[in-house]
Amino acid sequence: MKDLMGKAIWDYYHHENPEDLQTETSISELDELPVDYLFRDFDEMNEIEQKALQLAQGKVLDIGAGAGSHSLYLQDEKKLDVVALDISPKSIEVCQLRGVKNAVCKNMLDFAGETFDTIVLLMNGTGIFESLAKIDIYLQKLHTLLNKNGQILIDSTDILYMFDRDEDGGVYIPAGGYYGELDYVVHYKGESEDPIKWLYLDFKTLQNAAENNGFKVEKVLQSEDSFLAKLIKK
C-alpha cells in the first residue's frame, strides 16, 4: 500500500508542500479532496458527523480515524476514552503528533483485545465493508468489539441518484452486482493507489444486513441522499 492518503496528511501537518488529493470511482470522474478538509474542527463538520459525535458515549473506537479530527473532539471536548484506528501508518503518526492518546495502526479485522461502548465509522463508514459479499464478516467483527448494548454510529450515501433515468423515472443500473459496490482510487502528487473496493449502501440494505447480524437499527438523521444510522448490539 502506498498510503497516499497518509502521505497527504503527513505533508499537510509538517508543511511539506501538501497538495490536494484526487479521488475517483468506477462511476465518477476525478474529484478534488482538499487535504485541509481532513483537519477540520467540529464547527466545520457536516451535520451527520456532528450528530454522531454528539451521540458518542463511554469508551469509543474511531475506525478510519484519518488525521484524528473526530478522535480529538471526542477525547478533548467530550473527555471520552478513545482509540483511533486506521490502516495508514502515516495517518496514525499524525494522530499521535496531534495529541490523540491512543492511536493504533491496524486493520479492524485484525484488531482485538478491547471492547467499546461506541464505535464510530464516518465519512461513508460503510465503505470499509468492501462489498455485500463481505458485509457479514465486518458486521460480525464489529459485534465482537462492542460491549452489551453498545452502539455503532455509521454513515453512508445512497448513490442511486448517480445513475441515468429514463423518461418514466426508471433507473439504468448495470447488471452484475449491487449498484453501491464501487472501485475507489486515490491519487496524490502524480502517484496512484491500486483500486480498492468501496461500498455505498442504501439504508434498507444496511438495516437488513445489520439485523441479520445481531443489531437493532435506527436511522438517526437523513441529509439529502446521505444518512446516519445507529446499530445497537442486541
User: Which grid cell is 156?
Assistant: 453512508
CA distance 142 to 207: 15
Model-wide pTM > 0.85: yes
Number of Cβ within a 10 Å radius of residue 107: 12
* Boundaries of every domain in the chain: 44-160+170-183+200-233
170 vs 66, higher pLDDT: 66
| Per-residue pLDDT at 171 | 56
**% of the chain exceeding 70 in pLDDT:** 94
Q: Long-range contacts of range 89-92, CB-CB < 8 Å, 24 or more positions apart?
A: 89/3, 89/6, 90/3, 90/6, 90/7, 90/9, 90/10, 91/3, 91/5, 91/6, 91/9, 91/10, 91/65, 91/66, 91/67, 92/65
Q: pLDDT tier at 170 (50, 70, 90 boundaries)? A: low
Give the tens place of pLDDT for each residue, 36-92: 999 999 999 999 999 999 999 999 999 999 999 999 999 999 999 999 999 999 999
- The residue whose grid cell reads 459496490 is 181
Cα dist from 87 to 24, 59, 84, whole Å:
20, 21, 10
| Per-residue pLDDT at 126 | 97
Q: What count of Cα atoms within 13 Å lies in the side-chain half-sphere of residue 78?
A: 20
Q: Which CATH number fits domain 44-160+170-183+200-233: 2.60.260.20, 3.40.50.150, 3.40.50.1370, 3.30.1180.20?
A: 3.40.50.150
Out of 26-35, 55-64, 159-168, 224-233, least confident range: 159-168
